[in-house]
A and B are shown apart, each in its own frame.
Chain A
Amino acid sequence: EAGVAQSPRYKIIEKRQSVAFWCNPISGHATLYWYQQILGQGPKLLIQFQNNGVVDDSQLPKDRFSAERLKGVDSTLKIQPAKLEDSAVYLCASSPRTGYNSPLHFGNGTRLTVT
Chain B
Amino acid sequence: DAKTTQPTSMDCAEGRAANLPCNHSTISGNEYVYWYRQIHSQGPQYIIHGLKNNETNEMASLIITEDRKSSTLILPHATLRDTAVYYCIVSGPGGGADGLTFGKGTHLIIQP
Which residues of A are in contact with B by a Cβ distance under 8 Å? 4, 31, 33, 35, 40-45, 48, 55-56, 58, 91, 93, 98-109
Contact = CB atoms under 8 A, between A and B. Distances in A.
Contacts, number: 61
Contacts of B45: 106
A93 B92 CA distance: 18
Contacts of A108: 41-43
Interface residues of B, number: 26
The 3 closest A-B pairs by CB, nearest first: A42-B102, A106-B43, A56-B97
Contact of A100 (B31, B41, B42): B31
Q: Is the interface of B mostly helix, strand, loop or mixed?
A: loop
A91 B44 contact: yes
A104 B43 CA distance: 11
A41 B104 contact: yes
